[in-house]
Every structure is written in C-alpha cells, then in structure tokens.
Amino acid sequence: MASSNSQSAINKISSHFFWLVPLAFYWATVCRHAGWVDSPMIVRQVNFLETSVWVNSHNLFMVLGKLWMWVFPFGEPHLKLNMLCGVFAAIAVHFFFLSAFLITNRLLPSIIGALAIMVSHSLWWHATILEVYTLNAALISIVLFFVVRFDKRRSIRDVYAACFFWGLGCNNHVLMGLFVVGFLGALWWLVRHRSITTSQIFTAVLFFLMAMQIYLFLFLKELNTVVNSKGVFSYQVFWEALRFQLDHMTGGHFKKAMFPEMLTWEQHLNWRLNYLMLLFLNFPSIIFPLAFLGFWRLRGTVTFVFLIGALLAQITWSANYLIWDMFAFGMPVWLMFGFLGTVGLGFIWAENSLRSTVVKFLIPTILVGPYVYHMVPKWTKSPGFWSDYFNQFVQVDNYWDAPEFFVNPNKANYDLVARLADSIFTKLPQGAYLVDSDGKGYYPFSLYYQQVLGKRPDIKFISIFTPTFTADEAAAAAKRVELALNQNIPVYVSSVTYPERLVLNHLYAKWSQGSRADLRYAETLDKESFIKTFPKYSLEKISLLDDRDVYIYKLTKSGVAPQAPTDSYVIEGEGLILKKHTGKGVCMAQSMGSKWSEGGQMLCIDLNPLSKVVFSFEVPVDFSGTIEVNLTKSYDFGQVGLGLNGVDLKTVDLYAPSISHTKEILPNIFLPAGKHELVVTIVGSNKDAQPRYGFGVDSINFVSANK
C-alpha cells in the first residue's frame, strides 16, 4: 500500500512539474545575444507589435512576446524572447510526456522519450534562439494531449479544448491550419462511432473560431482597407481584394518554392533524401524505430486517425517546400514522430522479452544526437559529406559560419552577432552606407541594433531581400551606390558573393571599358579575379574581428594609374577593343578562372574560314623588343594567323583535346607610341577539332629588348 501511494505521489509530481527539467535545460543553453536571419526581424515585429495576416506575420507570438517583454525583468529584448522560446519548448516536451504517460501508463519510458524529444535538433535549436516554431510545438502538444485524453475519458470537453488550442495555433502560423486534415479524420471517426452529435460539432467549431479572433479581426480589417483603397465598391473589387488577401495569407511570393516544376529527378531525389536525413538527425537513436511500433499500437483509436491525417498533411507540405530551413518547417512531423517513438518505448518497456532488453540497453543512444550536433560544425572544416552538404546550404560568406549556427543548438556561448555589430558600428564612419542582405547582416544590424536598440542610426543600409531580389532591383541598388560615391559618402559592402555580387556586377560593367563593359562578363568572373580587376574603385578588405576571418569591403577610389614601364607591361585580352570583324561569329570577354591573367580572355567563336578580327590597342611609349601573345587552346578552336598593323607574322594551331594555354613569341618588334592593331585571321581547322573556328586571347606581354 505504501509503495502504491509512493508511486502515485511520484506520478503526480511528474505530471505537474516535469516541465521544469526541459525549461532548465533550454535556459542553460539559450543564446544570450542576437541571432541571424529571421530572429532579429521577429524582435522588431514584437517590439512594434506589427500584426498582419501576411504569412510571415506570426500574430499570437507577437502578442504573447510583447506581454513577456513587459513582465520579464532580465536582459535585452532579444534575450527575453530567446528565453520565451525555451518556455514554449518546455511546455511542448511536458505535454508530449503527459500524452505518452496517458497512453502507456509507464512513467520512466515516458520520461525517457520526452527527454529524447527535448534534445531533438529542431526543437532544441528553436528553444535557444528566437523563432516562432516552439509556440507551434507547444500548441501541437496540447492539442494532441486533449485528443489522447478524449480517447481515455470520452469527454466532449476534450474535443472542445483541442479545437480551441488549434484555433490559437492558426493565429500563429499557416502550417497549423494543415491540422484540419487530422481534425477531419477524427471527426469521421467520431461520427462513424456515433460519439459526437451535430450540436457538439457546431460547438467545437465555435470554440475554434473563438480562439481565432485575433486573426479574423486582422483579416477583416485588412480586407476592408484593400477594398476602400479602390475608391468605388463593386463585387469585382471585393473579389479581387479577397483573392489578394488569400494569396497574401497563404504564402505570396514564398509559394514559388512549393512544388517547383523545373527540378530534375536527381534534384527531387536529393530533396527527398534530405527530408529523411533531417527526420533521422532529430532522432538518431532507438526512438526512431520505436516510432513505427508506437504508430501500430495506436490503431483503432481517435489518436491514430488524427495522427494519420496530421502527418500526411504536414509531410506533403514540408517535404515539398524546398527551402534551406526545411528543418524548421518539418518540426511538426519530427515532433509527432518523436511522440510515437515515446509511445512505442512505453509499450515495449513492460515486455518480458529479448527485444525489450535490447531496447533498454540502447536507451543511451538518445545522447548520439547532441554529440552529432556538437561535432558537425567541426566536421565541415574537412572535405567530405558535411562540407559538401553545407556548401549547398546557405551562403553567408565572410560574416558567419552556417554549420556553427544552424547545427549546434547549444547557443550559451554564441556571441558572434553582438561582437560583429560592435565592430561594424565602431569601424564605419558617420553616415556610411552598407550594402547588405537579409541572410547576412541587415536583419541583426539594422532591424535589431538600429531600430530596436537605437544604435548608430546614422548608418544607411542598402538592403537586399534575397528571396525576391531581381536584376532590376540590383540595378537600382547599384545606382544608389554610385550616387553615394559621387557625393563622397563612404560605401561598404558585406560580401562580393551572392546576393551583393549582383549589385557589384552592375557597377563593374558600367565602369569598365571595352569588352569588359558587359554584365555577363562580370557575372562569370571568379571572386579573386573580380576583386583584382574591379574598375574605378578598389574593394578594400576591412577585417572585423581578430580571432575570426570575418570582414566586409570598402569601395575606395583608385589612385591614378602609374605610367607603364618601358621594359615590360601587359595588355589583357579582354581589354582589347574590337575594331573590325568580318564573317560570322561573335567576340566577347569571357571569365576563365585564376589560371588566366586577371581571370579572363577575349573569346571569339563560331567564326568561319578566312574570318578576320581586328583588335585595337595602345602602347604608352615607343616599344622595341619581344611580344608574347598568350592564347587559349581548346577542342573547338581553329588555326589562326597572327598579324600586327597589317603584317602577317605567324600561324598557330589552337586545337587541343582540353582547354590549355600556349605562348606565341613575336620577336624583334618595334612599335611607336600610340594605337596599333592586332589582326587574327581564321586560316583553317585541325581535323580533330570541332569546326567552330574559335580562338581566345588571354593577354599580350610586351618585353623590352633592354630587359
């Protein structure tokens, strides 16, 4: 009797206070500072209570976050909201524990399974850095708890409660609406078993709508605003406004990432394998296979039918939303899978069997996940699977390390954003411009540090929103940069890679001369060649931290180029000016990589026999010596004649099975200062070459006889 009372007391204490365990864990590993990507944006939205029906506006989180910031006394706004995410995650873990305990009546396996959910990657990560998904997780766990409790008690109040918390979830994120499939499945089961009446169905709908009041109010308010903005009411105007609202609330431009049509079957396969890998990485333990057992053992219940519908809807959506943060959008699936694993563990725990012994022996495997999350950022530093994976993940060159931030949920010591903000705000002069994007520094430095904390409001950001950034927007941003430079305003750029590179490409093409003044040429230059040959301004590297290779670039006016020395100098092939061209084909500057002088060449291709191409160049002083013409050889290049100022000098066969170089020597050349012509004539084609009659000029080296 005493033992029974003791166990009952333990069960009661666990049911009421287990949430303290995950809360302590999450707050111990929480990020004390700002984060990257959407986190700073959400702080701003909460701070200014920017509610909306726009799909990226998470209204319930904003309201609760604003209340939390008012009452929670510690830390700056970002830390407060990071900790709130830990609260929501702890609630989720607690209710998954309660649900599993209700089903299995096994305390220890329910606790172990809940701990596995606690350290699953997606939930742990979102519990330590600001995002809205742990609120989703909390509401999902509560809805599931009431569904499970209905299976046990058959009380219609549990149905009402489940519908109410589902309605709250729909205030927070569009993905919560997908649980309609689970609820419809549960409704079918209830009707089939005559466990619900028509009036009770209407009451359940009423509870759902009661919880949706924030969203419904905003929807009607914004719909009215759109209709009124048209001036004159008509049903056509109303219909167009309604269509706009529905598109606005269900994804807008983000929907282009859903079910894309242009992917190859290999790309589709890679995304499917990525989804399965993310599922496994959340539970690389005995919980993973036990989830299938748990699912099987629930058959015949409302919970089983609800989970089938919910999982089908969530998997269909999250597995086809092909975006880098699939690990976040798939969280409902990962959590329901972890819950099923916990149920499976509870059912097998009491068995007096070999498989039960094996399962208990493998319980420590729940620690594999935390170990992997800690090690992956280190593994990416070496060639292999993880480095290849993250090279395709998200580009954040020269600011921060994506694996470090996205893989390791333990953010207790992550202070990189704060340190970079301090450095940038210290190094940038008054009134400086910084070209930056949402995925790099714009969100934390501008939306949080400037707009929420009020630091360095004088710095102007030329911001890029990567998901919708177009060529026209890049051209407009380039004009803003040029205008600022013309006004002697210091301009910095966060990187020379995508998407900032799109802006710099326009400037490169506009400020270049000859064949380099082509946007296509700028787009294809490798990073080193692009920096080396950037015209008019130099891209000066500004180091931000002593202990990390993080930096930005400053556009610094180039000095007056020194006069070319008399003993030797180089004219780049892509810098030649096309003066005359007979026959077919095209000539253009082409980027070739670091093995070519300044990364490019002048390419002429698809010519015909006897085509003559005349280039103009200028020598600054009288020249006497040897000219070295560095040419490219290729599988589709022809046999060419080289000449200077109308004098034929040499014939060269530029065919080679693979792309390579050749240096052709033109000795004993005298050229007076001024303009001259290099003449290239197509004289034939090697029998093994593809007959495109091409050639490429890398550079022309002038070596004085006096050297």
CATH code for the domain of 459: 3.90.190
| pTM of the predicted structure, to 2 decimals | 0.85
Same domain, 653 and 529: no
Same domain, 631 and 685: yes
Residue 410 lies in a domain: no
Q: How far apart are CA 82 and CA 584, in angstroms?
A: 64
According to the model, what pLDDT value does residue 55 have? 79
Q: How far apart are CA 113 and CA 401, in angstroms?
A: 32
Residue 380 lies in a domain: no
Same domain, 549 and 674: no
Instruction: Supply the range of the domain harboring residue 522.
Output: 416-557
Q: How confident is the model at residue 2 (pLDDT cuts 50, 70, 90)?
A: low
Q: Which of 370, 393, 425 is the last residue of a domain?
A: 370
According to the model, what pLDDT value does residue 10 have? 85
According to the model, what pLDDT value does residue 620 have? 84
According to the model, what pLDDT value does residue 565 have? 52
| Secondary structure in 3-state letters for 494-552 | CCCCCCHHHHHHHHHHHHCCHHHCCHHHHHHCCHHHHHHHCCCEEEEEEECCCCCCCEE
Same domain, 572 and 549: no
Residue 278 lies in a domain: yes
User: Could you tell me what percent of the chain has a pLDDT over 70?
Assistant: 96
Residue 156 lies in a domain: yes
Q: Which of 335, 370, 405 is the last residue of a domain?
A: 370
Residue 378 lies in a domain: no
Bridge partners (DSSP) of residue 674 are 619
Q: 567 vs 348, which has greater pLDDT?
A: 348
User: Could you tell me what percent of the chain has a pLDDT over 90?
Assistant: 65
Q: How far apart are CA 460 and CA 502, in angstroms?
A: 19
Tokens representing 100?
């599993």
Same domain, 99 and 12: yes
Same domain, 185 and 321: yes
Q: Are 143 and 208 in contact (CB under 8 A)?
A: no
According to the model, what pLDDT value does residue 201 have? 95
> How many domains does the chain contain in total?
3
Same domain, 631 and 681: yes
CA atoms within 13 A on the CB side of 545: 15
Average pLDDT, the chain: 90
According to the model, what pLDDT value does residue 248 have? 76
Statement: residue 617 has pLDDT above 80: yes
Q: How far apart are CA 171 and CA 164, in angstroms?
A: 11
Q: Are 241 and 223 in contact (CB under 8 A)?
A: yes
Residue 382 lies in a domain: no
CATH code for the domain of 627: 2.60.120.260
Q: Which of 526, 557, 588 is the last residue of a domain?
A: 557
Of the candidates 678, 532, 656, 538, which has an alpha carbon nearest to the alpha carbon of residue 596? Answer: 532
Same domain, 173 and 34: yes
- Over the stretch 306-354, which tens digit does the pLDDT of each residue have? 999 999 999 999 988 877 778 889 999 999 999 999 999 999 998 889 9
Residue 381 lies in a domain: no
Same domain, 428 and 519: yes
Same domain, 680 and 551: no
Same domain, 345 and 491: no
- Over the stretch 648-702, which tens digit does the pLDDT of each residue have? 999 999 999 999 999 999 998 899 888 999 999 999 999 999 999 999 999 999 9
- Over the stretch 437-463, which tens digit does the pLDDT of each residue have? 988 999 999 999 999 999 999 999 999
Contacts of 56 (CB under 8 A, 6+ apart): 254
Q: How confident is the model at residue 104 (pLDDT cuts 50, 70, 90)?
A: very high
Residue 176 lies in a domain: yes
Residues 429-443 have a mean pLDDT of 93
Same domain, 194 and 247: yes
